[in-house]
Every structure is written in structure tokens, then in C-alpha cells.
Amino acid sequence: MMPDHVKKYAIVNTSATFSKFNAKEALDAALILASYEMPVALYFIGDGVYQTQSQQNAESIGAKDFIATFKALGFYDIEDIYISADCLSQRQLSTEFAFGDAKLVSNTEFANALKQADVILTF
């Protein structure tokens, strides 16, 4: 029996790419939820904006490169991707993202988009 209301999930990324396992765990959670056809949106704020950068070299620090997995988001119908423009600017990072169709938004727009979620998972 299907529920009347399918919950919308927000995965909020607050950690830099290779500083902890949080970034990989957030991506895994998003893909798992989406594989069960749950609506998932990704959010990048704070140091999480480092995950959005296309020019990353995991091998140089001996880490496993999972950034290429972001390119699979479209196959999982994960299309709502929000990146804090303020955080990107504060860190002087590029708008060349590791994945396509991300929305660069102000912190106010970011908060408004996040209000659409029923469940918020922060990594």
C-alpha cells in the first residue's frame, strides 16, 4: 500500500570533500533514497561547497575518488541541486561544478528551497 504523501528528502552537505567520510555518506544516502524513487534534493553550504568543484584530485592525498559519482545523479532523477552562492564566494571557488544543472542561490533562496523538504539529513 502506497502512502498518500511521499516524503521529500533533503541531503545537506556541510563538510569539505575529503575532510571526513560525510561527503561520501551523503552521496550514498542520496543515491539509495533515489533508487527507491524517493524525491531527493541536494544542498551544499559552508565547507560543503568544496564538493561541487570539478577540479579535485583525490589521489594526491591518498583518498578514494568518489566525485565522478556525482555525474550519475541524473540517472537517479536527482535534479534539485542547490549551492550557496554566498559560501562559494566566501571561499573564492569556481562555478565550474563537478555535475550539471546545479542552482546557485542566495542563502535566503537556499533556506526557502530547504523548507520544501519533509526530512532533512545533514552531513
pLDDT tens for 103-115 read 999 999 999 999 9
Residue 1 has pLDDT above 60, yes or no: no
Listed residue (37, 39, 29, 34) closest to 9, CA to CA: 39
Which segment of 19-23, 43-47, 92-96, 114-118 scores lowest on mean pLDDT? 19-23
In this predicted structure, what is the pLDDT of residue 70? 77
In this predicted structure, what is the pLDDT of residue 71? 79
* pTM given for the model: 0.87
Domains, the chain, in order of start with CATH, read: 9-101+117-122 (3.40.1260.10)
Q: How many CB atoms lie within 10 A of CB 45?
A: 21
121 phi/psi in degrees, rounded to 5: -110, 120
CB 96 within 8 A of CB 67: no
Q: Where are the alpha helices (DSSP H) in the chain?
A: 22-35, 85-90, 107-114
Residue 10 CA to its chain's centroid (Å): 9
Mean pLDDT of 11-24: 87
CB 82 within 8 A of CB 102: yes
What secondary structure does DSSP assign to 1-35, as a single string? ---SSPPPEEEEE-S-TTTSSHHHHHHHHHHHHHH
> Collapsing DSSP states into helix, strand and coil, what is residue 107?
helix
